[in-house]
Structure 1
């Protein structure tokens, strides 16, 4: 579906026309396609994402570390995951509805400022030595509620800032930054926490969020295109599900990701696999890092994505590749092979994420795009947490290897069945690609 939302709201920077661009265009066929960064509004949104992707990981590491340091309880660290999930799910769905009915720039300013204040309060309680798990849980719940509003709003804004033909490149740039943050953020947290203390991690995240407010402030207004701005209610949330149900292309893209994450994300088994098969704690760090490293390396070659027309095929093949790589992890008898399988899985996940994101941006109309991004946020955040429960339970019964191999193969079966039941998804080509 094409609407005026796909036209950038601010002119791009001047670039020399004609032959002078040819070498750059050739390079972009293989390396990161930075064309969307020529558009000032998108560049501002993306630059704010760069900072927050790293800063948010500092807090993501600091909270469970502080809980464990204060209590010595891994169970309470696990409870923190549930405390974070519930408000994230609720407010991602509601926040998506708000993003469709209010100015998205205003909503980004509000949510970014709220997250910055919450990070400051995290710093204050740590600096004052409160040692209260209850306070941490309350702040964590508020932070995740604000993130639930921010994430779908931020993502839904992309299609208003770049032309439709540049959506694959823009989505790849955003996803690559997220993966980069997942690698660099925890590394910085691990290096800074013993030297500067946990409170410093919160403070750095706070300062980073304050800096991003200027980039968000400079965005153009992003009001609703077809409806007057108004308050979002429960009916608007359910309207999003009613909108999604008959649109099989969008529905299949969500189901494919749920299948990949729930059936094929053996993250909960990494500690057992590291201890039993690969030599202990050092191996655990390798297993956790391999997924985002593979995704980041795949993002480096995202220039190829803009030249692919069969987006449905790419989703099906990448999800199947994820499943096969996870099954390979379960069969691996050496750490280097396990890391390779996880890196391949991370690369496949990056490809799947990009093309599912483009399908969503292209097929959802602007007045529903925020709500669809809210569902997308719930799927991305909730799927791995359900997988932790499933794989932990099944792994206890059949062993880590059996659960990992079986889950990976089930992913392949599930995505092949989806392609068979909804052949239109396999044949899907976006309108912009058809016009070329």
Structure 2
């Protein structure tokens, strides 16, 4: 069997930049709540910071997708990293004079806007940097540093830096974002001959609103995209409902302290990391849709186990497995969506998917809290697991008869191009 083509130098530049920016994310996402708690330990103030940071996904996700299809996606990534670097470095001077809660909220909101742009432009760029048969491998490589630096290494590093002072921590995060922006300058040189990686295809003048409508219309009119996006929304609902209650499951049901809870989170992250390593191999043996259905059903079984177990070893094993299944769902479906989407719609389709999956998270967290209050914490996990299993079958089983191969993706893209040129 001939050796599969490598991911290439353009991808390596993107990956290197992603490593630096994810390190910045890991520090800033942990640091800001610590700075808030230091002077304002009230629960609503702390939760408000998270809400403000996530608000740009509801307000700007769709416009960010339109911008990613109109402009140089590499340049958008550079701008987003420069904005984050400038915001954190400017905050160093502000904190030297004494910062208020309003400054922290404003910083969280600016970082959220920049993240919305970056997390839309990067996936939209990827299909033009690597061969389509290598998308699973490329997405896996991008997810791995995100898991390691955001979830595993970032929090303890941020804690250590916070011990040295807010200025040192903010300056470190800002420097990492600046390095991420600098590394992207190499992508232009490496990607010569890959025009879509640098500049989307030219199209007739249009308004942002019209561009957004075209992206939404494409998703709604495409059976595979519509059903997988709807399933992502369901998964976002389930994930946020259970994750918001995980700390209570650890404390009340399992009797753990803060160290034990941190270890549980680490175990889940290890499972996700193992999933990024294995998914490329699995996707070469299993079709995307059956793999997605199986992963979601097994993830639902893991949530059921967490609700029924009452034992720290079983809950830890379920979290490990759930992290694995989350990646074996997420990466193949993301890669399938990238294959099925024309180059000039990549940004908008990505933004629709992110809006649906991330936009349901505040709703899921709220529903999880209400259900736990009226019943119990364990009921949240059992109900979420059952809902995910049923939803996976109802939403994805009809896709077994729909062609989702690379050839089908090429045909869909060709039909789109032909329609837009006629």
TM-score (norm: length of structure 2)? 0.89
- Pair 1:111 & 2:76 matched: no
Give the 5 Å matches for 1:327-346. 327-346=304-323
2:157 to 179, 183, 188: 188
Residue in structure 1 matched with residue 113 of structure 2 by the alignment = 145
From 165, 174, 192, the equivalent of 2:133 is 165
Aligned 8 A contact 1:61 1:189 in 2: yes
Partner SS for 2:349: helix
Contact 2:279 2:327 in 1 (8 A): no
**Residue correspondence of structure 1 range 255-274 to structure 2 within 5 A:** 255-265=230-240, 266-274=242-250
> Which whole-Å CA distance do the structure 1 matches of 2:380 and 2:47 have between them?
21
Contact 1:95/1:152 (CA < 8 Å) preserved in 2?
A: yes
Q: Give unpaired runs (5+ residues) of structure 2.
A: 189-194, 412-422
Q: 1:91 aligns with which of 43, 60, 81?
A: 60
SS in 2 for 1:218: helix
2:187 aligned counterpart, secondary structure: coil
Query: In the superposition, relative to structure 1, how do residues 153 and 270 fare at CA in structure 2: closer, same or farther (>3 Å)?
Result: same
SS of the residue aligned with 1:35? coil
Aligned partner of 1:292 among 250, 269, 273: 269
User: Cα distance, 1:241 vs. partner?
Assistant: 0.8
3-state SS, counterpart of residue 72 of structure 1: coil
From 149, 173, 176, give the equivalent of 1:208: 176
| Distance in structure 2 (CA, Å) of the matches to 1:344 and 1:150 | 29
Deviation string for 1:284-341 (max 9, x for gaps)? 2123323222101222334404523511111111111111111111112221211110
- Residue 112 (structure 2) pairs with residue 136 (structure 1): no
SS at match of 2:63: helix
- SS at 1:250 equivalent: helix
Superposition deviation, residue 272 in structure 1: 1.5
Taking a change above 3 Å as real, the CA distance of residues 419 and 232 of structure 1, as seen in their structure-2 partners, is: same
Tell whether the 8 Å contact from 1:260 to 1:323 is kept in structure 2 after alignment.
no
Which of 45, 67, 73 matches 2:14?
45
Q: Tell me the CA shift for residue 68 of structure 1.
A: 1.1
Aligned residue among 273, 289, 299 for 1:322 = 299
| TM-score (ref. length: structure 1) | 0.86
Distance (Å, rounded) in 2 between the aligned partners of 1:200 and 1:184? 17
**Aligned residue among 240, 243, 262 for 2:215:** 240
Find the aligned partners of 2:16 and 2:356 in 1 and give their Cα distance: 25
Range with bigger deviation, 164-173 or 211-220:
211-220
Q: How well do the aligned residues superpose, as a CA RMSD in angstroms?
A: 2.3
Which whole-Å CA distance do the structure 2 matches of 1:405 and 1:126 have between them? 45
**1:413 and 2:382 correspond:** no
Extract unaligned runs of 5+ from structure 1: 1-17, 26-33
Aligned to 1:67: 36
List, as ranges, runs of 4+ consecutive aligned residues in structure 1 with deviation greater than 6 Å. 432-435
The reply on whether 1:363 has 2:331 as its aligned counterpart is no
Aligned position for 1:310: 287
Contact 2:279–2:331 (8 Å) recurs in 1 = no
After superposition, the Cα gap between the structure-2 partners of 1:118 and 1:301, relative to the gap in structure 1 and judged at 3 Å, is same
| Distance (whole Å) between structure 2 residues aligned to residue 274 and residue 383 of structure 1 | 24
Count of matched residue pairs: 400
Q: Which of 234, 239, 249 is equivalent to 2:224?
A: 249
CA distance in 2, matches of 1:408, 1:328: 9
Q: Given that residues 165 and 433 in structure 1 are in contact (C-alpha distance below 8 angstroms), is that contact kept between their aligned partners in structure 2?
A: no
